[in-house]
Amino acid sequence: MKSIIQFIKKEFLQFKRDPKMFALMLIAPVVQLTLLGYAANLDVKLVRTIVYDQDRSATSRDFIERFTSSGYFKIEQYVSSYDKITEVIDKGDAILALVIPNDFEKNIYSRRTATVQALLNGSDGNTAGIVAGYSLNIVSDYSQNIILNFLNRSGQKLSSVPIISPEIRVWYNPELKTRNFMVPGIVGLLLSIITLILTSLAVVKEKEIGTMEQLIVTPLKPYQIIIGKLVPFVVLSFAAITIIIAAMWFIFGIPVKGELWFLFLSSLFYILSTLGLGLFVSTISKTQQQAMMISIFAVMMPMIFLSGFAFPIENMPKSIQLISYIVPLRYFNEIIRGVIIKGLGISDLWFNALLLLLMGIVILFFSSLRFKRRLE
């Protein structure tokens, strides 16, 4: 026991001697969280729109006004030819081009269907889909109005057709800000990256410098070396996650609605798997360069893309969904978001926490075994 403590002390000493590393570990996450938290945003507002109004009538102007007053569209310019539309959309300067035909008003007055064209730059399918939805809502609203006017004028009472209105209530995140979804996700991501980099490199570094052999010839047993190497990282990771959660609270005003202790407990479980993965990477790499490439490509990128951090897992094909089950961050993300956004706690998320603990133990166990064999 005493020797482990000595060893842990030595590890901390090493950290202290490398102030750049220390700074990177504790400051970079906050900077990253701030930058990325503000940037990670899928909210579609102020759609850049151009209008080709062939009709130039009072009705068409009224119709365009509906778009601007909805608050979602910003009309960049009025154009007067299809060529110009092609040019602007090709350049990427507008997402939506509205084309109002020259018989727009005439058709409406004579009770025929007027067709408005919405030309969208579909390259960003997500945004384009949402914009198309907004436009359709405005058009149906307008259409409904025309019918009501018509009925009014024809002497029928307004209420002679029922209107079914959708009453939409959004839970957990009423303003529909993607930020509230992304920032907690970034917390998990940063925690993973820090722990992974640290462990995978720390061990390989000793190998490369040749101090590993010195460690091996000490009376320390392999498990003592592993514990001694990992404990400082667990401590540092806790410091990091506390700082990150505090930053989330102060900078973005996103409080932890649920059980904070449960969040920390799950973080501990989660760190077990990332440390284990880091240790594993270190056992299969000879140089730090290899360790880095492997941890980025084989561990971090899958974490980013397959954990449901930005891309909903439900949208993925079944086979990819299966792969995502072995990504520990997937479960940690559910916990972070559940606790922070939904205000849930252990009674709802115990299963995820249990899975994390199991994964952590299994990963750590096998990488320690491998590591031990390497040492011997």
Partner 1 sequence: MFKRTFAIVKKEVRQLKRDIRLLAVIFSFPVLLLIMFGYAVNFDVKNIKISIYDMDKSESSRDFINSLNSSEYFDIVDFIHSSSDVNIHLDQKIAKCIVVIPSDFSKKINSNRNTSIQYLIDGVDANTASIIKNYMFAATTKFNQKINSEILVRKGFKEYIPLSLETQFWFNPDLKTTRYLIPGLIAMILIVTAVITVALSFVREKEKGTMEQLNVSSLKSIELILGKTLPFIVIALVNAGLILLAGYIFFGVEVKGSYLLLLLTTLIFLTASTSLGIFISVLSDSQQVAFSAATFVSLLPSFILSGFVFPIDSMPVIIQVITYLTPAKYFIEILRAIILRGVGVSAFWDQIIYLLIFTMALIILASMIGKRKAESV
Residues 269 to 288 in contact with partner 1, rule: CB under 8 A: 285-288
Task: Give residues with Cβ within 8 angstroms of 169, minimum separation 6.
Answer: none
Instruction: Tell me how many degrees the CA angle 271-275-281 measures, rounded to the nearest 5.
Output: 145
Number of shown-chain residues binding partner 1 (CB under 8 A)? 122
Per DSSP, 110 falls in state T
48 counts as binding partner 1 under rule CB under 8 A: yes
CB count, 10 Å around CB of 305?
15
324 counts as binding partner 1 under rule CB under 8 A: yes
Distance from the Cα of residue 249 to its chain's centroid: 17
Q: Which amino acid is at 144?
A: Q
372 counts as binding partner 1 under rule CB under 8 A: no
132 counts as binding partner 1 under rule CB under 8 A: yes
Region 77-116 residues binding partner 1, contact defined as CB under 8 A: 89-92, 108, 111, 113-116
121 counts as binding partner 1 under rule CB under 8 A: yes
Q: Which of 78, 82, 172, 365 binds partner 1 (CB under 8 A)?
A: 172
Q: Which of 306, 335, 355, 359 binds partner 1 (CB under 8 A)?
A: 306
- As measured in angstroms, the least distance from the Cβ of 299 to partner 1 is 11
Give the integer Cα–Cα distance in Å for 54 and 119: 15
Distance from the Cα of residue 214 to its chain's centroid: 43
50 counts as binding partner 1 under rule CB under 8 A: no
Pairing outcome for strands 73-78 and 47-53 = parallel
Q: Which of 139, 212, 251, 268 binds partner 1 (CB under 8 A)?
A: 139
Instruction: Tell me how many degrees the CA angle 181-324-130 measures, rounded to the nearest 5.
Output: 40
Q: Which amino acid is at 49?
A: T
1 counts as binding partner 1 under rule CB under 8 A: no
CB nearer to partner 1: give 25 or 353. Answer: 25
DSSP string, 33-73: HHHHHHH------SEEEEEEESS-SHHHHHHHHHHHHTSSE
Six-digit token string for 121? 């730059």
CB nearer to partner 1: give 179 or 224. Answer: 179
- As measured in angstroms, the least distance from the Cβ of 228 to partner 1 is 18
Six-digit token string for 287? 């140089």
Region 233-272 residues binding partner 1, contact defined as CB under 8 A: none
- As measured in angstroms, the least distance from the Cβ of 232 to partner 1 is 14
CB nearer to partner 1: give 192 or 273. Answer: 192
Per DSSP, 155 falls in state T
Q: Which of 220, 225, 344, 364 binds partner 1 (CB under 8 A)?
A: 344
- As measured in angstroms, the least distance from the Cβ of 308 to partner 1 is 9
CB nearer to partner 1: give 164 or 217. Answer: 164
361 counts as binding partner 1 under rule CB under 8 A: no
62 counts as binding partner 1 under rule CB under 8 A: no
201 counts as binding partner 1 under rule CB under 8 A: yes
- As measured in angstroms, the least distance from the Cβ of 74 to partner 1 is 10
Half-sphere exposure of 204 (CA within 13 A, CB side): 24
CB count, 10 Å around CB of 48?
17
CB nearer to partner 1: give 173 or 218. Answer: 173
Per DSSP, 296 falls in state I
Region 13-32 residues binding partner 1, contact defined as CB under 8 A: 18, 20-21, 24-25, 28, 32
- As measured in angstroms, the least distance from the Cβ of 40 to partner 1 is 5
CB nearer to partner 1: give 4 or 42. Answer: 42
Distance from the Cα of residue 149 to its chain's centroid: 46
> Which of helix, strand or coil describes residue 102?
coil
Give the integer Cα–Cα distance in Å for 364 and 346: 24
